[in-house]
Structure formats: C-alpha cells, structure tokens
Amino acid sequence: MQSRTPVPRATGRPRSAAADAAILAATREALVELGWSKLTLGDVATRAGVAKTTLYRRWAGKNELVVDAVAELFDELRMPDRGSLAADIEGVVLQFAAILARPEARSGLMAVIAESTRDDALRERIRESIVDRQKRLVHQGRTRAQQRGELPADPDPTSRTADLIFDIVAGTVVHRTLVSAEPTDEEWARAFTSLLLLGLRGSAAP
C-alpha cells in the first residue's frame, strides 16, 4: 500500500512539541501492546489525548508515524568516549543492540522495512529519519580516533568509507539481533569490533 500524499502544513498556530512527543510515545506503547497489525491511528490518538485529525495534520499515515516513533528511539544512541576506538565501537554496538531488543523498536522497524519494499517514499523516509541521522555516530567515532592518533586523517574528504562503516555495523547488528535472534553481548561485540578494526586499519595502510 502506497503512502498517502503528505498533507500540506496549514499556517496558523505552531505545531506543539508536547503533542508530538505524546503521540510518538503513544505509538510506541501501542506497538508493544497491540503489535503492528492492530495498531490504529484512532488508538494512538486516544492514548496521546489528542484528536485523530491532529495526527493527520502531522503524519500522512500509519507507516510514517511508526517510522518517526522508532527514529526517536535511535536518536538516544550516543558515541561513548571510553578511551579507545575499540571500546567506543563496542559501547555503541551494545547500545544499538539494546534498542533493537525493545519490542517497540523490533516490531516497528521490521514492519516499516517490509512496507517500504513496495513504497519508495516510505523507504526514503526511513533513510532520512533513521539511517542518515545515525551516520553522525560514525563521523564522531572516526574524528575522535583520528585525534587520538588511532586512525590517520582521511585523505579523501569525498570518501564513502563512513557510509560503508555504517552499513557494516548497522547491517550486522540488525541481522544478529532481529534475523538470527542470537545474543549480542559483550563477548560478541568485542569479537565483531576486532574484525571491524582489522578492516579499518588495513584500508588506512598505504
């Protein structure tokens, strides 16, 4: 099913941040209690204490609403400063896995990804709201490692290395957590990080 055409924003009273926060929190609550298939905008509106029309002024439909509700969870991710690149990577991998293990993240993300296979606009929204926003972590980690002298400065500012690093980390953790349903514990994070660093340091060699 294709996403509905976005509704143009009306002029007038500014959008309420408190209402947005309540709606996104209610969406995650509904995902946990009802699951993707039974979640409705009417139920979310009731939980959030807003009119259903308020949701439609902000989101074109259920898919877009769930993307934004899940994206807010991933915005909690932080690149820790644990003293070394290896420790920093292990820290963010464990954070990421913990978020993916939450029922609202798991059911919401899997559902919108499935829907996006036949909805280009939804796929683009996932890319902008979740993927592109979290690539900041790669840039932060690389910059800090370069400042410590653990990695050389990137000689090519247009390099797609950061995108590739993100794809490797995110793809591996998502597959491990959501597809294979295997534990993503400290031991696994350490082994994965060691393998990733071999590639990073090898690609930096002349």
Residue 50 reports pLDDT greater than 50? yes
In the prediction, which pLDDT does 199 show? 72
What pTM does this model have? Answer: 0.83
Of all residues in the chain, what percent carry a pLDDT higher than 70? 87
pLDDT digits (tens, 9 = 90+) for 28-47: 999 999 998 899 999 999 99
pLDDT digits (tens, 9 = 90+) for 71-117: 999 999 999 999 999 999 999 999 999 999 999 999 999 999 999 99
Decide which of 7 and 91 is more confident: 91
pLDDT digits (tens, 9 = 90+) for 161-181: 888 899 999 999 999 999 999
Are residues 37 and 153 in contact, defined by beta-carbon separation less than 8 angstroms? Answer: no
In the prediction, which pLDDT does 198 show? 87
CA dihedral (171, 30, 14, 59) in degrees, to 10, reads: 60
Distance CA 140, CA 199 (A): 18
Decide which of 15 and 179 is more confident: 179
In the prediction, which pLDDT does 8 show? 45
pLDDT band at 9 (very low <50, low <70, confident <90, very high): very low
| DSSP code for 13 | S
52-61, 69-78, 122-131, 152-161: segment of lowest average pLDDT? 152-161
Looking at the structure, give the CATH architecture of the domain made up of residues 70-204.
Orthogonal Bundle (1.10)
Q: Is 144 exposed, middle or buried (0-12, 13-18, 19+ CB in 10 A)?
A: middle
pLDDT band at 3 (very low <50, low <70, confident <90, very high): very low
The contacts of residue 39 (CB under 8 Å, 6+ apart) are 27, 30, 31, 62, 66
Of all residues in the chain, what percent carry a pLDDT higher than 90? 73
Where are the chain's structural domains?
70-204
